[in-house]
């Protein structure tokens, strides 16, 4: 045997024993649930080591679902900084005298993902504090910071009214979402829209039962009748059943277009504050000579990424993704600009991910791809980054909060795992950090694609348990 072949065999043997296949408990769980090991990719690495302990199909490009938010939020923290704040500005294009604006009021947005009803109330209350009470012109919405054209996430599952499918907007208010509250009010069962806007009509045909709550969502359905006349009223009819034992539940829907929703909410709050608005709503760009009345800042980015990751908020992730494009590439920002900003940042960090496919940065996509090896590289890199505390604290804590609050509640791992989860049809994934029983921290990635992906939760849990119990 030649020395070259001999050393080749020795090297191959060492490679096989240094990077193992999936652990036996994981393999058993996959086999039990009828899942092929070829449909999953797994990487496990101790963070004080320079290479993975487990690397199964690590280089395979796979759809990560919402685990892609790990990339978007980490990039956001590094590129923009944890203290970054979005702003919303108010301008006038007319004369303001004695509380009367003889002209238009202009709201200009810069992509704030968390500009909610209470933030709009605070902004309008400040305007009232400046003495403004009557707007004789129109409400002009300046959304020019982002491009108005986006990939249609409603094509993702065909349900364009679900809140998670709402598209971004530079002047996004309340996530463009209406919460339908289902609850007993005394002896009366009601379905109420919050915020309660005149453009939304609720028809409650739900039957109240004494059953166990269980999967309450699957027991009801809704039918939406779009506006068909000048009143612009959208009718939502709820049918099916609702168990009294469910107490109070909420269903989020996005029913109105951006301009209609913002205008209606603005008008409602403005009138409650004692103001009046004569004109209608228009989309436009702030004139160069417009007078700036005020601006309002968002919560800092480190708070926003916590909301994105803890509760896997797709629309907020998409807003951040476009903001990266606007800040690093230019305006009006497109999704291609967001991709360019992130790939440029990766290259600057010496991270080349040739298999990476980005569509919206939220994982709400059939196209997005990344490998388990590169997700693991991101986790290791983030752990050694100055923004590590902010990034790690944004991930759901196992059996404590966020999307993992009910997972492995009776496990010794409770509170010791920071884990981002992802799940869409044909995809189930997790990625994060495990603090094992001996106080050592590990990065863990598990990606499953294919028809049996939804059956891999037991295998994921087995992997977490195996890492936690490492000798």
pLDDT band at 128 (very low <50, low <70, confident <90, very high): very high
- Contact residues for 71 (Cβ-Cβ < 8 A; gap 6+): 342, 361, 370, 375, 378
Question: What pairs with residue 429 in β-bridges?
Answer: 422, 447
Distance CA 369, CA 59 (A): 11
pLDDT digits (tens, 9 = 90+) for 256-274: 999 999 999 999 999 999 9
Angle value at C-alpha 71, between 65 and 74, nearest 5 degrees: 140
> Backbone phi, then psi, for 74, in 5-degree steps?
-65, -45
Distance CA 339, CA 93 (A): 36
C-alpha distances in angstroms, 200 versus 141, 203, 460?
A: 21, 10, 42
pLDDT band at 106 (very low <50, low <70, confident <90, very high): very high
Go through the chain and tell me how many residues it has.
Answer: 471
pLDDT digits (tens, 9 = 90+) for 456-470: 999 999 999 999 999
Q: pTM to 2 decimals?
A: 0.93
pLDDT digits (tens, 9 = 90+) for 337-351: 999 999 999 999 999
Distance CA 396, CA 307 (A): 10
Q: Are 309 and 396 in contact (CB under 8 A)?
A: yes
The mean pLDDT value for 316-330 works out to: 98
- Burial of 242 per CB tally in 10 Å (0-12, 13-18, 19+): buried
Angle, helices 457-468/24-32, rounded to nearest 10 degrees:
170
Q: Are 261 and 173 in contact (CB under 8 A)?
A: yes
> Backbone phi, then psi, for 163, in 5-degree steps?
-60, -30
* pLDDT score of 93 more than 80: yes
Distance CA 343, CA 358 (A): 9
pLDDT band at 154 (very low <50, low <70, confident <90, very high): low
Q: How far is CA 272 from the centre of its chain?
A: 32
pLDDT digits (tens, 9 = 90+) for 397-429: 999 999 999 999 999 999 999 999 999 999 999
Cβ neighbours, 10 Å, residue 386:
11
* pLDDT score of 8 more than 70: no
- Burial of 349 per CB tally in 10 Å (0-12, 13-18, 19+): middle
Cβ neighbours, 10 Å, residue 402:
21
Report the percent of the chain where pLDDT is more than 90.
89
pLDDT of residue 185: 80
pLDDT of residue 20: 62
pLDDT digits (tens, 9 = 90+) for 287-317: 999 999 999 999 999 999 999 999 999 999 9
pLDDT of residue 228: 78
* pLDDT score of 14 more than 60: no
pLDDT digits (tens, 9 = 90+) for 55-90: 999 999 999 999 999 999 999 999 999 999 999 999
The mean pLDDT value for 352-376 works out to: 97
C-alpha distances in angstroms, 341 versus 71, 171, 198, 328, 355?
A: 12, 21, 41, 6, 17
pLDDT of residue 399: 98
The mean pLDDT value for 151-155 works out to: 67
Distance CA 371, CA 354 (A): 10
Distance CA 438, CA 144 (A): 53
Cis amide linkage into residue 52, ω under 30° from 0: no
What's the mean per-residue pLDDT of the chain?
93
pLDDT of residue 5: 42
pLDDT of residue 159: 84
Domain-wise residue ranges, the chain:
20-83+302-468, 87-158+258-298, 178-253
Q: Are 88 and 79 in contact (CB under 8 A)?
A: no
pLDDT of residue 1: 43
Superfamily of domain 20-83+302-468: DD-peptidase/beta-lactamase superfamily (3.40.710.10)
Distance CA 73, CA 418 (A): 15
CATH of 87-158+258-298, one of 1.10.260.40, 3.50.80.20, 3.30.43.10, 3.40.50.920: 3.50.80.20
pLDDT digits (tens, 9 = 90+) for 161-216: 999 999 999 999 999 999 999 998 878 899 999 999 999 999 999 999 999 999 99
pLDDT of residue 174: 97
pLDDT band at 11 (very low <50, low <70, confident <90, very high): very low
Closest CA to 431 of 171, 20, 21, 66: 66
The mean pLDDT value for 92-99 works out to: 93
Distance CA 80, CA 302 (A): 10
pLDDT band at 232 (very low <50, low <70, confident <90, very high): confident
pLDDT band at 122 (very low <50, low <70, confident <90, very high): very high
């Amino acid at each position: 045997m030649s020395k070259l072949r001999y050393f080749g065999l020795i090297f191959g043997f060492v490679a096989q024993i240094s990077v193992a296949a999936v652990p036996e408990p994981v393999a058993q769980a996959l086999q039990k649930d009828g899942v092929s090991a070829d449909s999953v990719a797994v990487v496990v690495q101790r963070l004080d080591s320079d290479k993975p302990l487990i690397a199964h199909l690590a280089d395979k490009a796979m759809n990560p679902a919402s685990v892609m938010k790990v990339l978007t939020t980490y990039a956001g923290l590094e590129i923009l900084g944890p203290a970054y704040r979005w702003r919303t500005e108010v301008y006038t294009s007319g004369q303001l005298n004695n509380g009367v604006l003889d002209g238009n009021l202009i709201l200009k947005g810069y992509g704030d993902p968390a500009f909610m009803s209470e933030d709009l109330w605070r902004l309008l209350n400040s305007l009232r504090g400046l003495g403004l009470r009557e707007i004789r012109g129109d409400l002009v919405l300046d959304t020019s910071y982002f491009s108005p054209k986006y990939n249609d996430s409603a094509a993702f599952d065909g349900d364009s009214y679900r809140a998670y499918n709402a598209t971004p907007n530079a002047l996004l208010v309340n996530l463009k979402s209406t919460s339908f509250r289902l609850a007993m009010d005394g002896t009366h069962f009601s379905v109420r829209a919050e915020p309660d806007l005149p453009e939304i009509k609720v028809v409650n045909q739900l039957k109240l039962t004494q059953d166990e709550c269980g999967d309450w969502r699957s027991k009801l359905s809704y039918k939406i009748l779009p506006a068909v006349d000048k009143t612009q009223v959208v009718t939502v009819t709820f049918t099916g059943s609702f168990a009294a034992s469910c107490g109070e539940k909420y269903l989020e829907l996005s029913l109105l277009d951006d301009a209609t929703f913002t205008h209606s909410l603005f008008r409602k709050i403005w009138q409650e504050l004692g103001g009046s608005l004569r004109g209608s709503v228009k989309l436009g760009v702030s004139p160069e000579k417009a007078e700036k009345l005020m601006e309002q800042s968002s919560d800092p980015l480190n708070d926003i990424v916590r909301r994105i990751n803890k509760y896997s908020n797709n629309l907020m992730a998409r807003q951040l993704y476009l903001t990266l494009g606007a800040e690093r590439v230019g305006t009006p920002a497109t999704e291609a600009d967001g991709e360019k900003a992130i790939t440029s940042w990766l290259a600057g960090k010496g991270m080349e991910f040739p298999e990476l496919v980005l569509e919206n940065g939220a994982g709400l996509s059939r196209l997005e791809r990344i490998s388990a090896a590169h997700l693991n590289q991101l986790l290791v890199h983030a752990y050694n980054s100055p923004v590590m505390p902010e990034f790690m604290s944004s991930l759901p804590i196992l059996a404590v909060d966020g999307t993992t609050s009910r997972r492995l509640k009776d496990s010794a791992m409770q509170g010791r795992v920071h884990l981002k989860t992802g799940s869409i049809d044909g995809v189930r994934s997790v990625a994060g950090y495990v603090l094992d029983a001996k106080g050592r921290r590990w990065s863990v990635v598990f990606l499953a694609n294919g028809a049996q992906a939804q059956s891999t939760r037991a295998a994921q849990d087995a992997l977490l348990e195996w890492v936690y119990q490492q000798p």
